[in-house]
């Protein structure tokens, strides 16, 4: 019996995207062309394979059963091809789109860009806004190479890798009357605070941590990005509770002083996510490895 192998990537794209529109975009074909391929696959397997629902398509029982076999077969074919391809960072010409939250944009992106300048000068980087709905970042469709931040309940077609854990410290104006060697609980609770509310779960985690420690905080002003904090602190007697790696950036500003938090506020994870389609892409794998190495260096530097 003859089989059209071109139908298998269509099947796998639909399994992973659960959307005809996104699967067609991923494969670079029109929706009618994808529907035609799906109909041929349905005729071959004598099963509907995917049933339309309000927000996409749902695989049938047969589709669920054969998906692991199809994925394994395509993976073996990909491996045969990719093992004969080499990624040369020094000679590569490629654009990567990332969606970092404001923390990752400030902490992770500068060292990454610096390392790319040295190792892969032809690789360009474009940043797109992070969102609590990762679909809006383009990473779910695969248009965005990676998303960085706190990724809670990611969709099935994203691979998540833990990069680093960071803690929290406090920042005040350098000549603040309370900028002593230590910051007591009483002083912390007496001060007014600058609160950062970027997209994502970081603000929720800090709020819950303060509640667990029964540590009160009077918020005087809320901002949407970490880089707004220095200017707020420089002209007030306010305090800000920020990730330690953000504090390391801000302490270069002579107007500011970093102090330990009055109690242990714990840590929070920073993660990297990417679409399953990039699992075996040599350039993408190289970049993921580089990103993990940079995160390890940052963690070691703050230990």
Question: Is 41 within the bounds of a domain?
Answer: yes
Tell whether 160 and 284 lie within a shared domain.
yes
* Average pLDDT of the chain to the nearest whole number: 88
pLDDT beyond 80 at 81: no
Domain that holds residue 181: 168-266
pLDDT beyond 60 at 37: yes
Question: Is 1 within the bounds of a domain?
Answer: no
Question: Is 183 within the bounds of a domain?
Answer: yes
In whole angstroms, give the CA distance from residue 95 to residue 71.
27
Tell whether 161 and 172 lie within a shared domain.
no
Of the listed ranges 40-44, 82-86, 145-149, 151-155, the one predicted with least confidence: 82-86
Mind listing the pLDDT tens digit for each residue in 128-145? 988 877 877 888 777 889
Cβ–Cβ < 8 Å for 78, 280: yes
3-state SS record for 217-267: CEEEEEECCHHHHHHHHHCCCCEEEEEHHHHHHHCCCCCEEEEECCCCCCC
pLDDT beyond 90 at 276: no
Question: Is 227 within the bounds of a domain?
Answer: yes
Question: Is 157 within the bounds of a domain?
Answer: yes
Report the share of the chain in percent with pLDDT over 70.
93
pLDDT beyond 70 at 303: no
Tell whether 219 and 102 lie within a shared domain.
no
Question: Is 113 within the bounds of a domain?
Answer: yes
Tell whether 238 and 224 lie within a shared domain.
yes
| The domain boundary residue, chosen from 61, 82, 103 | 82
Tell whether 161 and 44 lie within a shared domain.
no
Structure tokens at 84: 């004969």
For residue 13, the domain's CATH number is: 1.10.10.10
| The domain boundary residue, chosen from 82, 103, 137 | 82
- Of the pLDDT bands very low, low, confident and very high (cuts 50, 70, 90), residue 1 is low
- Containing H/E element for 300? helix 282-302
For residue 189, the domain's CATH number is: 3.40.190.10
In whole angstroms, give the CA distance from residue 198 to residue 246.
13
Question: Is 179 within the bounds of a domain?
Answer: yes
pLDDT beyond 90 at 71: no
In whole angstroms, give the CA distance from residue 49 to residue 64.
9
Report the share of the chain in percent with pLDDT over 90.
58
- pLDDT mean over 151-167: 89
| The domain boundary residue, chosen from 82, 109, 138 | 82
Q: Output the pLDDT for position 136.
A: 79
Question: Is 89 within the bounds of a domain?
Answer: no
Please tell me the pTM assigned to this model: 0.73
Tell whether 178 and 245 lie within a shared domain.
yes
Our count of domains for the chain comes to 3
Q: Output the pLDDT for position 80.
A: 66
In whole angstroms, give the CA distance from residue 291 to residue 131.
21
Tell whether 157 and 173 lie within a shared domain.
no
Mind listing the pLDDT tens digit for each residue in 173-210? 999 998 887 899 999 999 999 999 865 455 557 778 88
């Amino acid at each position: 019996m003859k089989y059209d192998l071109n139908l298998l990537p269509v099947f796998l794209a639909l399994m992973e995207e659960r959307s005809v529109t996104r699967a067609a975009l991923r494969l670079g074909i029109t929706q009618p062309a994808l529907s035609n391929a799906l109909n041929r696959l349905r005729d071959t397997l004598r099963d509907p394979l995917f049933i339309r629902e309000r927000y996409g398509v749902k695989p049938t029982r047969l589709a669920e059963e054969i998906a692991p076999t199809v994925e394994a077969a395509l993976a073996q074919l990909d491996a045969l091809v990719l093992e004969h391809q080499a990624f040369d960072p020094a000679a590569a010409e490629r654009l990567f789109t990332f969606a970092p939250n404001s923390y990752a944009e400030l902490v992770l992106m500068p060292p990454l860009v610096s390392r790319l300048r040295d190792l892969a000068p032809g690789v360009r980087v474009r940043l797109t806004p992070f969102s609590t709905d990762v679909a809006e970042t383009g990473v779910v469709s695969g248009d965005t190479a990676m998303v960085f931040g706190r990724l809670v309940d990611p969709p099935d077609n994203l691979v998540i890798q833990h990069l680093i854990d960071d803690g929290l410290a406090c920042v005040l104006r350098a000549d603040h009357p309370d900028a002593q060697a230590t910051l007591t609980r009483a002083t912390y609770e007496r001060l007014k605070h600058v609160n950062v509310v970027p997209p994502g779960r970081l603000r929720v985690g800090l709020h819950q941590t303060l509640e667990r420690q029964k540590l009160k905080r009077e918020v005087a002003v809320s901002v949407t990005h970490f880089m707004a904090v220095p200017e707020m602190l420089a002209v007030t007697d306010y305090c800000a509770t920020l990730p330690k790696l953000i504090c390391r950036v801000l302490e270069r500003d002579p107007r500011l002083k970093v102090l330990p938090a009055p109690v242990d506020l714990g840590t929070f994870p920073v993660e990297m996510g990417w679409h399953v389609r990039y699992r075996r892409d040599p350039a993408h794998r190289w970049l993921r490895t580089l990103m993990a190495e940079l995160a390890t260096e940052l963690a070691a530097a703050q230990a």
